[in-house]
Amino acid sequence: MSWKFFLYDWGGLNIALFQAINTGTPAALGPLAWFFSLVGSYWTAPLMMLGLWWWSKSATDPARGVAVLHRLIGFSVAFSLALLAATVVKLWLDFPRPSAVLGDLVRVVGDIERHYSLPSGHATYAALVVGALWPLMGRRGRIGLVLYAVLVGWSRIAAGMHFPADVLAGWGLGLSCTVLTGRLLPLAATVWQWARPTSTWIWFAVAASAVMTDQLAKFTITRTFAYGEQVEVTPFFNLVHVLNPGAAFSFLANAGGWQRYFFITLGLVVSAWLGRMLRLQLPRLEAAGYSLILGGALGNVADRVLRGQVVDFLDFHWRLTHWPAFNLADVAIFLGAFCLIYAAMSRKAVIKSS
């Protein structure tokens, strides 16, 4: 007998519990299952972040506002870790969904899915919400959070999308990422305070880390996926393997080949300027922004030198509307630009108040 029989199948109990919940749920509760699948979806993460941000700004007690802001930061980091971990586990194990195992015996609410059952993304997200809000709530609020997580897990089983083991694994993953984030953020804060504006090597290390992370992800995609292959990870996120000879949004993609050398030259010139900026005594947030943009730029330049085209693999979509595929280098550039914009806005606010 394999480890899966004991740890996942539970000797047949996993399927038995699924059938008891799925077939035992009255059809009248179908809308309730749909609703909690909706509020337990990753798609509600922006609303969660916006709500925490508004709460931090509207709090009358400054200490309370700071506490809520810390939970917002922790939730954002834990969410990113959980999404990455869930994606890796889903692709690695590729456990079948209930519809693939039991066929017509499953009552499905929504579209039928057959792959990547473990872990339940909805249960993972529900656990992240619970972990973020738990320190901010009183006794009644915490009871409500537990009830929310339980109902989200129940909804995925009642809707025929996941087995109970998938739900438990999702709860465990979400809470683990929350705990891990709680351990990492104090360390990151210590490094952030230690990184003085004159510590140029730290910012070049950040840029190098961004390049290595991006290239490792692209290497994994090119070795694992056939060109043009698409794998659904969540209802709104796919992993793909596409090549872009142009710039963002396929700009100059059909230019005939000369654009490769143009973008390599442009990327190197911009990178040289960014490196020069990092040698100046910049505030930490600005230095972080320039270092992330430098890492992202060099990541895409490396693609054009090694492959002739940029590898894109992150595909976010809503139904049939897809955002243009992008990669981790693009994410680093976006985050770097956000840091610079935020630093500029903060500096302007300080000038106005003085």
Determine the residue type at 138. Answer: G
- The reply to whether 80 and 117 lie within a common domain is yes
- The reply to whether 78 and 157 lie within a common domain is yes
Which pLDDT value is given to residue 312?
Answer: 92
- Is 70 exceeded by the pLDDT of residue 198? no
- Is 60 exceeded by the pLDDT of residue 196? no
- Is 80 exceeded by the pLDDT of residue 188? no
Asked if 9 is an active-site residue, the reply is: no
Higher pLDDT, 234 or 124: 124
- Is 80 exceeded by the pLDDT of residue 195? no
Which pLDDT value is given to residue 186?
Answer: 86
- Is 80 exceeded by the pLDDT of residue 60? yes
- The reply to whether 95 and 161 lie within a common domain is yes
**Structural tokens at position 53:** 């941000």
71 backbone dihedrals φ, ψ, rounded to 5° = -65, -35
Identify the CA nearest to 332 among candidates 318, 314, 350.
314
The tally of domains found in the chain comes to 2
- The reply to whether 143 and 8 lie within a common domain is yes
- Out of 168, 191, 214, pick the residue that ends a domain: 191
- Out of 132, 163, 191, pick the residue that ends a domain: 191
Percentage above 70 pLDDT, the chain: 91
42: domain CATH number is 1.20.144.10
- Is 60 exceeded by the pLDDT of residue 1? no
Average pLDDT over the chain reads 86
Judge whether 313 and 191 are in contact, CB under 8 Å: no
pLDDT single digits (tens) 132-160? 999 999 999 999 999 999 999 999 999 99
Which pLDDT value is given to residue 256?
Answer: 53
- The reply to whether 183 and 201 lie within a common domain is no
- Is 90 exceeded by the pLDDT of residue 189? no
The residues with which 280 forms a beta bridge, in sequence order, are none
Quick one: pLDDT band at residue 78, thresholds 50, 70, 90?
very high
In angstroms, rounded to a whole number, what is the distance separating the alpha carbons of residues 294 and 272? 9
- Is 70 exceeded by the pLDDT of residue 105? yes
- The reply to whether 241 and 177 lie within a common domain is no
**Domain range for 345:** 195-353
pLDDT single digits (tens) 298-346? 999 999 888 888 999 999 887 678 888 889 999 999 999 999 998 888 7
Asked if 214 is an active-site residue, the reply is: no
Mean predicted confidence (pLDDT) in 188-207: 73
- The reply to whether 81 and 202 lie within a common domain is no
pLDDT single digits (tens) 237-295? 888 999 887 555 555 555 556 667 788 888 889 999 998 888 887 888 888 899 999 99
- The reply to whether 269 and 347 lie within a common domain is yes
Which pLDDT value is given to residue 30?
Answer: 86
Quick one: pLDDT band at residue 220, thresholds 50, 70, 90?
confident
Mean predicted confidence (pLDDT) in 59-64: 88
Identify the CA nearest to 18 among candidates 82, 110, 98, 78.
98
Judge whether 157 and 117 are in contact, CB under 8 Å: no
Q: Which of 214, 303, 312, 315 is catalytic?
A: 312
- The reply to whether 135 and 154 lie within a common domain is yes
Determine the residue type at 236. Answer: F
32 backbone dihedrals φ, ψ, rounded to 5° = -70, -40
- Out of 138, 166, 191, pick the residue that ends a domain: 191
